[in-house]
Amino acid sequence: MFLNWGAEVFKWKLLANYMMPVSYKLATKSTLAGVAASVFTPFRVGTYFGKAAMFPHKYRAKGLILQLFNSIAMFEVNFFFGLLFIGILGTVASEPIFGIDKDLLSTIGFIGAGMVLVFWYLFVNVRVLLSTFDKWKITSNWRKYFDLVNDKRYTNLSLTLIFVSVARYLIITYQYVLAYEVFGVGIEGWETFVAAGTLFFVFQFIPVFNAVEFGVMRTTLLSLILTTFGLLEELTPQITLSITLASFFIWLINLAIPSLIGSVFLSQIKVLKES
């Protein structure tokens, strides 16, 4: 948990320093406030407002834009590994997946992962895309919020965001491997790793309210992934219980505890606004 959120705090501090000097203490408060705000909103959109709200009022608009860059980096990492793992699962499946030929699904996964690498390149070289902002009046006023990309340090920053996002992704995924071992799900570590990565990919398209999810949706999706791709021959009550306990434990560690701490920091918003 500390490695997971520590990586997120590190990324957020790097970004936030582009608008004002930010200590690790403030970056931590802002990050956890974002977690607290996100658990009650679909697709975790509250993260943007929770993080930005911890800064003085004049910096909040730019804070939203900076969080957009942060989210895009993690989003692209999720997409890359999710599609890659779907490709891998297609190679080990023994029958069609939801009516789709397993070889075709595997090919789609691998090609999709390759296409995401193109978006990684565009993320690093986003200055090319933002030049179009000046061509339309409706977007020209937004250009001032994207000064970050004109900084000479942006290339190194964007690469750091991607690499740290990859590290964080691997940490979160490995948590499932550890939890499945502890609760005795009974599958190989690499199978858990790949299934969890596929879960993260699917999870991005589901408007889940994490505050009341308790890991139930994760249990359902993981059970479906494991059985559909043949990683589990039979979903027994014992295995279902083990997956449920593991999913709840990860939900508790990664979301419940950080959001409770973050809710305390959210109470400071009015004080910060007055300053």
Yes or no: say if 88 and 105 are a contact pair by the CB < 8 Å rule: no
Q: Where does the pLDDT of residue 8 fall: very low under 50, low under 70, confident under 90, or very high at 90 and above? A: very high
Q: Cα–Cα distances in Å, from 77 out to 10, 41, 91, 239?
A: 17, 22, 22, 30
Q: What is the mean pLDDT of residues 99-127?
A: 92
How far is the CA of 248 from the CAs of 33, 58, 101, 148, 214, in angstroms? 21, 39, 33, 39, 6
pLDDT-based confidence at residue 275 (cuts at 50, 70, 90) = very low
Mean pLDDT across 105-128: 92
Q: Is 134 a residue whose pLDDT tops 80?
A: no
What span, in angstroms and rounded, lies between the C-alpha atoms of 45 and 39?
A: 9
DSSP output for 172-208: HHHHHHHHHHHTT--S-HHHHHHHHHHHHHHHTTS--
Greatest CA separation found in the chain?
62
**DSSP 8-state code for residue 66:** H
Cα gap 124→222, rounded to integer Å: 33
pTM: predicted TM-score of the whole model, two decimal places: 0.88
> Would you state the pLDDT for residue 89?
94
pLDDT of residue 245: 95
Handedness of CA 258, 260, 264, 270 (dihedral sign): positive
Question: Could you tell me where the DSSP H helices lie in the chain?
Answer: 2-16, 24-38, 46-53, 60-92, 102-124, 127-130, 137-140, 154-182, 189-203, 216-228, 237-251, 257-266, 269-274
Distance CA 261, CA 170 (A): 24
181-228 pLDDT, tens digit per residue, is: 999 998 999 999 999 999 999 988 888 777 777 888 899 999 999 999
AA letter at 272: L
Distance CA 99, CA 76 (A): 27
User: Does the pLDDT of residue 271 top 80, yes or no?
Assistant: no
Mean pLDDT for the stretch of residues 135-151:
66
How large is the average pLDDT for residues 116-135?
Answer: 80
Distances (CA, A) of 70 to 8, 15, 40, 125, 126: 9, 8, 20, 15, 14
